[in-house]
């Protein structure tokens, strides 16, 4: 029994020494990144997806909205549907902007585009309204 324990212990030592000798192992198996969630201390250091001063156009942002605004999912008015947009436009642009930013009925806040600035969302509303008059 003692001989078996020594053999196993020797194998463990041999394996550990081989592992340590290959200094590239740690480099090859290290994590490729970190996860940072909103509210974590690291969130303050997260850089925006789009560099400052390079706002995306309303048309560019709309491409993220097509799942609902091209199909009418969850009651979303389709782009170009004048009848669906008319009562919304009648409430005023400030109401539409607030709905896009804060969410309204089936539409979640920011349409789930959390990397969109308020100005980008307003440009998207402007684009959709212009195409739906």
Regarding pTM above 0.75, the answer is no
Would you give the DSSP letter of residue 104?
Answer: B
Q: What is the fold, at CATH topology level, of the domain defined by 55-130?
A: Cytochrome Bc1 Complex; Chain D, domain 2 (1.10.760)
Whole-number pLDDT of residue 80 = 95
For the segment 4-18, what is each residue's pLDDT rounded down to a tens digit?
A: 555 545 554 555 555
Domain boundaries defined on the chain: 2-43, 55-130
Nearest to 109 by CA among 99, 94, 117: 99
**The pLDDT of residue 44 is above 70:** no
The 10 Å Cβ neighbour count of residue 62 is 20
Output the furthest CA–CA distance in the chain (Å, rounded): 88
At 107, is the secondary structure helix, strand, or coil?
strand
């Amino acid at each position: 029994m003692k001989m078996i324990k020594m053999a196993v212990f020797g194998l463990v030592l041999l394996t550990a020494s081989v592992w340590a000798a290959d200094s590239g192992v740690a480099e090859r198996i290290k994590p490729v990144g970190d996860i940072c969630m909103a509210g974590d201390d690291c969130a303050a250091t997260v850089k925006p997806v789009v560099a400052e001063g390079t706002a995306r156009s309303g048309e560019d942002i709309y491409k993220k909205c097509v799942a609902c605004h091209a199909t009418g999912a969850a009651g979303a008015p389709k782009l170009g549907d004048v009848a669906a947009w008319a009562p919304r436009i009648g409430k005023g642009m400030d109401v539409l902007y607030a709905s896009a930013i804060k969410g309204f009925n089936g539409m979640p806040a920011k349409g789930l585009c959390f990397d969109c600035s308020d100005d980008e969302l307003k440009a998207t509303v402007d684009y959709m309204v212009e195409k739906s008059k």
